[in-house]
Amino acid sequence: MELTQDLEVGIIERIQRDRAFAEALLDEVEETLRECEYGVAQDMLYILVTGTIGFDALSHSLSMTSETLTCMLSSKAKTSPEELSAIASALKREFGATAS
């Protein structure tokens, strides 16, 4: 299921103003990965990265270019479960590093 542009923008805006919501979505990503719903996890990661630290910052912690990361999280990519899990883990580390 693809998100409409308005819904995606609304979720990103909420992520930006509500850290607890962003962390809850990241927990949901981990759950969807455990349930083998990789496309859902991929879409959620794209929105989370967009709404939080961005592709440039996260790509540095993953030792890849932001273009590669963006492509990996695009809805047309066939990103492996291991790669999605690594992205989710890196994002979780970044959340922990910025916790106040």
Count the Cβ atoms, other than its own, within 10 Å of residue 59: 21
Q: Are 25 and 44 in contact (CB under 8 A)?
A: yes
- Tokens 């308005």, residue located: 6
Per-residue pLDDT of the chain (100 residues; tens, 9 = 90+): 556 678 888 899 999 999 999 999 999 999 999 999 999 999 999 999 999 999 999 999 999 999 999 999 998 999 999 999 999 999 999 887 555 3
Beta-carbon count within 10 A of 53 CB: 19
Rounded CA gap, 100 and 85, in Å? 25
The reported pLDDT for the residue numbered 18 is 93
Give me the helices (H) in the chain, please. 5-17, 19-34, 38-51, 54-61, 66-73, 81-97
pLDDT confidence of residue 8? 85
- Entry pTM: 0.88
Q: Which residue's structure tokens are 């273009």?
A: 67
* Other CB atoms within 10 Å distance of the CB of residue 30: 14
User: Each residue of 18-39: pLDDT tens digit?
Assistant: 999 999 999 999 999 999 999 9
Q: Domain extents for the chain?
A: 5-88
